[in-house]
Amino acid sequence: MRISEGVEWAAHCCLLLDWMGVDEPVSTARLAAGYGLPPAYLNKQLQPLVRAGILTSTPGKRGGFRLARSLEDITLMDVLTAIEGPEEAFRCDEIRQNGVWADLPESAFRAPCAIDAAMRAAELEWRRALAARTLASVQTDAELQAPYLRRQVQDWYAEHYPAHTP
């Protein structure tokens, strides 16, 4: 049971996009440079975010990614669901319907498996907490520790990887 690293990458990239503060699309190459990630693979990880409506993509030269909405309107749950899919981590295979229970009438299985129900309830707490946390609030936490971050990001890109200037 492990959450894909794509979740971490995606969340970081959303914050980075906001810190960069540009209105034009940012290419995968520039984003990847900001975290030292392999560009092609980062691109692959960001595509689900586009499908989920968290980012918008622009193809072609001068193309790239933009935040589709404010960080206020993106939760950690949104990011997780986009990358990992909507399915729950615990999936009940209904093994209770075999062996001992095989001969019971179908009505015996109307009620959900008690183990499944308990696991789902716990997982729901997790998702609730994720849904309550916006990327904006996470960004605020980061800036409380390091208020210079936005400036640092913009300066670094201006020096190391400036956008193509006309």
Partner DNA sequence: GACCCACTACTCGGATAAGTGATGTCCGAGTAGGGTTGG
Partner DNA sequence: CCAACCCTACTCGGACATCACTTATCCGAGTAGTGGGTC
Q: Which of 21, 36, 59, 162 binds DNA (CB under 7 A)?
A: 59
Q: Are 55 and 46 in contact (CB under 8 A)?
A: yes
Question: Cβ atoms within 10 A of the Cβ of 42, count?
Answer: 22
The DSSP line for 88-139 is: -SS----GGGSGGGTTS-GGGGSSPPHHHHHHHHHHHHHHHHHHT-BHHHHH
The answer to whether residue 11 forms part of the interface with its own copies (CB under 8 A) is: yes
Which of 61, 22, 64 shows the shortest CA–CA distance to 47? 64
> Given the complex with its own copies, which of 59 and 116 has the nearer CB atom?
116
Spatial contact of 149 and 30, defined as CB atoms under 8 Å apart? no
Q: Does 157 sit near its own copies (CB under 8 A)?
A: yes
Selection from DNA, its own copies, none that 25 binds (CB < 5 to 8 A by kind) is DNA
Q: Measured from the CB of residue 64, what is the shortest distance to DNA in angstroms?
A: 4
Name which position in 22, 33, 136, 163 contacts its own copies (CB under 8 A).
Answer: 33
99: contact with DNA by CB under 7 A: no
Piece of the chain touching DNA by CB under 7 A; list 24-32, 94-102, 120-128, 134-142: 24-32
Give the bridge partners for 66, in sequence order: 56
Each residue 55-74 as x (binds its own copies by CB under 8 A) or -, in order, gives --------------------
Using CB under 7 A as the binding rule, the residues of this chain from 105 to 144 that contact DNA are none
CB of 107 to DNA, least distance (A): 29
Helix 39-51 vs helix 5-20: crossing angle, to nearest 10: 80
